[in-house]
Amino acid sequence: MSLLLAGTRFLLRFTPRSTDSAESLHAAIAKRGEAEAPIPASVRRRVDVTETTVQGRPVVRLTPRGAASGRHLIYLHGGCYTFGILTVHWNLLATLADRSGVTITVPLYGLAPTYHPAEAYALLDEVYANVVEAAAGRPVFLGGDSAGGGLALGQALRLRDGSVVGGAHGTGGGRHSTEIAPGDAPAPAGLILLSPWLDVTLSAPQIADVAPLDPMLGRAGLVEAGDLWRGDLDGHDPLVSPLYGDLRGLPPIFVHQGDRDILLPDAKQLARTVTRAGGRIELRITKGGFHVFVGAPWTREAKRAIRRIVAELRG
């Protein structure tokens, strides 16, 4: 473990946590102001940025300025389903696009408590259809961190089952409501999951052992965020907790996880379940790593993880 990683984790201990309790979460939601961090000028200098609207939600595309590979990644940001994309996300995604040659599409889905998972998945259905069309047969990956990682896995389950809804290929105009039959929607080439949130109930007994080591996340506030997001859905519904879904027949899954992350037990369970089901999953656990440590590029561990993600996207 590098000194920079240990030092960053130490400093995080002094950062107020919105997820310490249900009360602190609601207080942070009340103060969140602008939901989405603007795209930094430094990112716009590194990649070409295209901004459109799908179903009334912003969708951003980052295209490498070098030789684009033709591969695509649809990336869903984390934030407990209650907070918008951060500058650290934009910087990470620009790095991945620049180094891999992959074009990255970022749907900015609506946040709880105003929005519901059904609206997020409807948005993803249309975005996925648009990206598949643009990719013209080349690989399309799904990915995300934390809450976005759970949403990406949930979408992969829906694509496998043919339960997605076809959408218009435009910028928010009238959608079709035709169900896509099983097998009609091409499967993602793979899933790139960074510290994914796989069970909004956080019911694994092992979480109690990891929680004191996590400098970023508190269980009580996370459970409250999960309740706000799921609304009338059961906490074990695969749409919000894909860990409880049928995990057979999925594309290759690549998980990057730290061992000081409250979500580690569920990542381990995902790896066990997918392996038993005959699927391919690579779970890389970084010693000393905190939640989404990949977003700290000044650390040796994040640099190593980014190189691996680039290799995964290149295939």
Distance CA 213, CA 259 (A): 9
Give the total residue count for the chain.
315
Residue 251 structural domain: 3-314
Summary mean pLDDT of the chain:
93
Peptide bond just before 252 cis, omega within 30 deg:
no
Report the predicted TM-score, pTM, of the whole model to 2 decimal places: 0.94
CA proximity to 296, closest of 196, 211, 195: 195
Return the pLDDT at 182. Answer: 42
Query: What total number of domains does the chain contain?
Result: 1
What values do phi and psi take at 60, rounded to 5?
-115, 135
Could you tell me the two tokens for 178? Answer: 């035709």
Helix (H, G, I), strand (E, B) or coil at 126: helix
- Give the model's confidence band at 166: pLDDT under 50 very low, under 70 low, under 90 confident, else very high: low
- Give the model's confidence band at 267: pLDDT under 50 very low, under 70 low, under 90 confident, else very high: very high
CA proximity to 295, closest of 88, 4, 13: 88
Neighbours of 179 (CB within 10 A): 12
Return the pLDDT at 165. Answer: 66
Residue 170 has pLDDT above 70, yes or no: no
CA proximity to 203, closest of 271, 259, 263: 263
Q: What is the CATH number of the domain that holds 46?
A: 3.40.50.1820
Residue 297 has pLDDT above 50, yes or no: yes
- Give the model's confidence band at 159: pLDDT under 50 very low, under 70 low, under 90 confident, else very high: very high
Q: Which position has the token pair 């690989």?
A: 139
Residue 256 has pLDDT above 50, yes or no: yes
Neighbours of 212 (CB within 10 A): 9
Paired sense of beta strands 103-107 and 140-145, if any: unpaired
Return the pLDDT at 67. Answer: 81
